[in-house]
């Protein structure tokens, strides 16, 4: 009897250990671009660091409490959407007409369910609108006025357009437009950009992955231009068989490369690990095409990859095994 009992205790202990052995955590980005030590005062570095840390804490708290990966993605992105220092929701960059048009998407790795909105102008949290499309509509992607209306009908918080526009985004637009005028260029080039889009890849205690991305797009974009961020497979992708990915950078290249899905495909069909797949897509495929940007990715075991080919990328991660960091510049681990 005693022997049976101790066997039972050992089996139970083993079960508990297996249940607890699932690593969980999240990795996030706050955009890639000309982010350098020389170009960013200590004060500004602190501002970004604080924003990233707040978002990381919110996402990690959800996971630590046993919440699912998509809820962690939403919790972290909501914080950055409210933070006017990042290019999503409040603080979004402006299009050529000086207006805000926001894109967001979310995807679950467990069932490949996904939702996205493009060109919304009134929703306080576009990531929540994307989630509503995923969970409460028969669709994957909605755009413009229809998406705004749907978000409102779903009870999401609506803001006046002035809420999203900041002095900083107005000054950036003016700077870009003045420079283009000086150069006599009519094209929407994006000189000296700091993208500032936000995105998260998360892994929960159940071993499920999710990814999400939210952005105002690119300064001086044409009216109704849609970037990669709301396009499943381009800016966001998640599959429990491979990884969760959120991208940031010059969206036109990410769309043409179907970049986020390609990271997953390299893992699925070529057996690459997440680091090799993500690095290949950024440093080879994207760079060879002349595109700029980066991504954050996480696999089911909690391996993280954060490649970028720009001078810097705001990024941060926290994992249940103790790994954690907030980073901005090149050559930081």
Token pair 């990795």 is found at 27
Instruction: Tell me, residue by residue from 121 to 160, as one string, x for binding to ligand ASP by CB under 6 A and - for no binding.
Output: ----------------------------------------
C-beta of 67 vs 235, nearer to ligand ASP: 235
Q: Rule CB under 6 A: say whether 312 interacts with ligand ASP.
A: no
CB of 286 to ligand ASP, least distance (A): 12
Among the listed ranges 8-16, 39-47, 142-150, 245-253, the one in contact with ligand ASP (CB under 6 A) is: 245-253
Q: Binding residues for ligand ASP, how many (CB under 6 A)?
A: 15
**β-pairing verdict for 114-120 and 141-143:** parallel
Among 217, 291, 302, 307, binds ligand ASP (CB under 6 A): 217
C-beta of 220 vs 240, nearer to ligand ASP: 220
Which two three-digit tokens encode residue 277?
Answer: 């797949």
CB of 119 to ligand ASP, least distance (A): 11
C-beta of 77 vs 218, nearer to ligand ASP: 218
C-beta of 81 vs 204, nearer to ligand ASP: 81
C-beta of 125 vs 194, nearer to ligand ASP: 194
In 3D, which of 292, 329, 314 has the Cα closest to residue 76? 314
CB of 167 to ligand ASP, least distance (A): 20
Among 218, 238, 260, 266, binds ligand ASP (CB under 6 A): 218
Instruction: Round to whole Å and give the CA distance between 246 and 29.
Output: 8
Instruction: Round to whole Å and give the CA distance between 17 and 1.
Output: 24
CB of 255 to ligand ASP, least distance (A): 8
Reported residue count of the chain is 333
Query: Is 197 known to be catalytic?
Result: yes
Among 249, 302, 311, 312, binds ligand ASP (CB under 6 A): 249
Instruction: Round to whole Å and give the CA distance between 188 and 269.
Output: 37
Beta strands in the chain (DSSP E): 25-33, 102-108, 114-120, 141-143, 198-203, 209-215, 236-238, 243-249, 293-299, 304-305, 312-319, 324-329
Buried b (16+ CB within 10 A) or exposed e, 189-226: ebeebbbbbbbbbbbbbebbbbbbbbbbbbbbbeeebb
Which two three-digit tokens encode residue 305?
Answer: 């990859």
Q: Rule CB under 6 A: say whether 311 interacts with ligand ASP.
A: no
What burial class does residue 101 get, using C-beta atoms within 10 Å of its C-beta: 0-12 exposed, 13-18 middle, 19+ buried?
buried
Q: Which residues bind ligand ASP (CB under 6 A)?
A: 31, 87, 195-197, 215, 217-218, 227-229, 235, 248-249, 251
By annotation, the residues acting in catalysis are: 197
């Amino acid at each position: 009897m005693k022997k049976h009992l101790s066997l039972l205790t050992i089996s139970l202990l083993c079960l508990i250990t297996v249940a607890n052995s699932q690593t969980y955590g999240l990795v996030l980005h706050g955009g890639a671009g000309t982010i350098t030590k020389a170009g960013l005062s200590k004060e500004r570095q602190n501002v970004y660091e604080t924003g990233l840390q707040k978002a990381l804490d919110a996402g990690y708290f959800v996971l630590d409490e046993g919440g699912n990966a998509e809820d962690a993605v939403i919790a972290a992105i909501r914080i950055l959407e409210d933070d006017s220092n990042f290019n999503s929701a409040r603080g979004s960059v402006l299009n050529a007409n000086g207006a805000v048009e926001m894109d967001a998407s979310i995807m679950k790795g467990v069932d490949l369910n996904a939702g996205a909105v493009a060109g919304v102008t009134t929703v306080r949290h576009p990531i929540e609108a994307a989630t509503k499309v995923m969970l409460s509509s028969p669709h994957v992607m909605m755009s413009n006025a229809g998406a705004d209306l749907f978000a409102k009908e779903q009870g999401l918080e609506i803001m006046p357009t002035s809420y999203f526009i900041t002095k900083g985004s107005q000054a950036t637009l003016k700077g870009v437009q003045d420079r283009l005028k000086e150069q006599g260029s009519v094209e929407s080039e994006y000189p000296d950009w700091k993208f500032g889009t936000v995105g998260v890849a998360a892994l929960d205690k159940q071993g499920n992955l999710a990814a999400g991305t939210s952005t105002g797009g690119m300064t001086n974009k044409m009216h109704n231009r849609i970037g990669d961020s709301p396009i499943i497979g381009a800016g966001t992708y998640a599959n429990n068989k491979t990884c969760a990915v959120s991208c940031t950078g010059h969206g036109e290249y990410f769309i043409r490369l179907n970049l986020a899905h390609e990271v997953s495909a390299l893992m699925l069909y070529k057996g690459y690990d997440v680091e090799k797949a993500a690095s290949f897509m950024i440093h080879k495929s994207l760079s060879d095409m002349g595109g700029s940007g980066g991504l954050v990715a996480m696999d089911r075991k909690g391996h993280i990859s954060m490649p970028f080919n720009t001078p810097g990328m705001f990024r941060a991660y926290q994992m249940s095994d103790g790994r954690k960091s907030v980073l901005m510049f090149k050559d930081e681990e």
